[in-house]
């Protein structure tokens, strides 16, 4: 159902209101798009930092396993004092 506006003043006011609403909506959309881009950049940064932390934790775990293997290897060797006597 079309809106019937009786006077020129009402038509102009309606157009102005509609244009203002469109501008406001457009501004809001632009702000939200900028916020989305900011959040994407933050997520990308966070992911890179987590990858670094994972790499360090894996390295530390491998070093700990290597240390344990070395300790186990020495423990399995016969005592040198037993072979001297």
Confidence of residue 85 (pLDDT cuts 50, 70, 90): low
pTM score, two decimals?
0.57
pLDDT in tens, 15-59: 888 899 998 999 999 999 999 999 999 999 999 999 999 999 999
Which has the higher per-residue pLDDT, 29 or 82?
29
Which has the higher per-residue pLDDT, 67 or 10?
67
Burial pattern 9-24, b for ≥16 Cβ within 10 A else e, equals eeeeeeeeeeeeeeee
């Amino acid at each position: 159902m079309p809106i019937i506006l009786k006077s020129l003043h009402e038509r102009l006011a309606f157009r102005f209101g509609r244009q203002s609403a469109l501008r406001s909506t457009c501004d809001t959309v632009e702000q939200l798009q900028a916020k989305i881009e900011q959040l994407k950049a933050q997520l990308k940064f966070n992911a890179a930092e987590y990858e670094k932390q994972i790499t360090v934790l894996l390295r530390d775990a491998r070093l700990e396993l290597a240390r344990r293997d070395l300790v186990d290897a020495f423990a399995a060797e016969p005592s040198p004092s037993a072979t001297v006597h």
